[in-house]
Amino acid sequence: MQTKTILQTIIEDEGSRVYPLFKQYCVKKEQGLRKDALKVLQTFVEEMKGNEFAARRSFVAWLFEKIERFEDCHHLLVYPLIIGVIHPVLQEWESVDPMDVRPYRWQGLFVHQGEGLPYLLKALEIGGSKEQRVIVQICETYLSALWYSFHHIHEDLYLSTYEKDQERIQSIEDVMMLIENKRIRINVEKQAVYYHQLLTDWKEFQQTETRGFMKWCAERKKPYEWVEAFYYHQ
């Protein structure tokens, strides 16, 4: 059975009657009429800007309740909508109701423009262990940063500082036990152990050497994939 897209779901949703222009935008986008869709969206955004905060907040809440259930939310979260409606509403929402977890969760997960971590941490602070998606995303964010720090390490190039990465590893360890899905938790734990070991080995290597980390690891039979490739092809 074919799963509906987020656009189809919104078009068929009872709630979309309240937002005829937004529904029209989704219809045109679903038909592949990108230019026409954007024109309609611009009109919708301008109309929404004239509404009271309560009405704009209702729209954003309705929209994100759908977005949270779908993987293809990028079809909806386009720049004019984010800048014109979503961001202003979420920021005002935070000041009007600072203990509501939703604006922090939604900014951290969906519309953070590369700066999601502070929102995710705030969502965790307010919502606690109920915020499973937030907790996993916090771990993923730290793991991505660790990957970046080490992704040229086999060429003796380390792109961070010990302190910063030690802090990231510690932060993962602090929150990963809150992950309820055992498979995801074990996977995060394995990666945290991997980066902890890699950081420890790099620090030890740096005490005596400046070049040849891969060879140094190979001689000590360190089980990194890139070391094994080096070791067995000598």
CA–CA dist 87, 48 (Å, integer): 13
pLDDT, tens only, 221-232: 888 888 776 655
Q: Which pLDDT value is given to residue 229?
A: 65
| 3-state percent helix, strand, coil for the chain, nearest multiple of 5 | 75, 0, 25
Does the structure show a pLDDT above 70 at 1?
no
Model pLDDT for residues 71-96, shown as the tens digit of each residue = 777 778 899 999 999 999 999 999 99
**Is the Cα dihedral 33, 42, 108, 103 positive or negative?**
negative
The span from the CA of 200 to the CA of 222, in Å, is 12
Residue 195: band (very low, low, confident or very high) from pLDDT cuts 50, 70, 90: very high
- Among all chains, which residue has been given the structure tokens 């086999």? 154
What pLDDT band is residue 189 in, cutting at 50, 70 and 90? very high
If you average pLDDT over residues 13-24, what whole number do you get? 92
Query: In the predicted model, what is the mean pLDDT of residues 64-73?
Result: 86
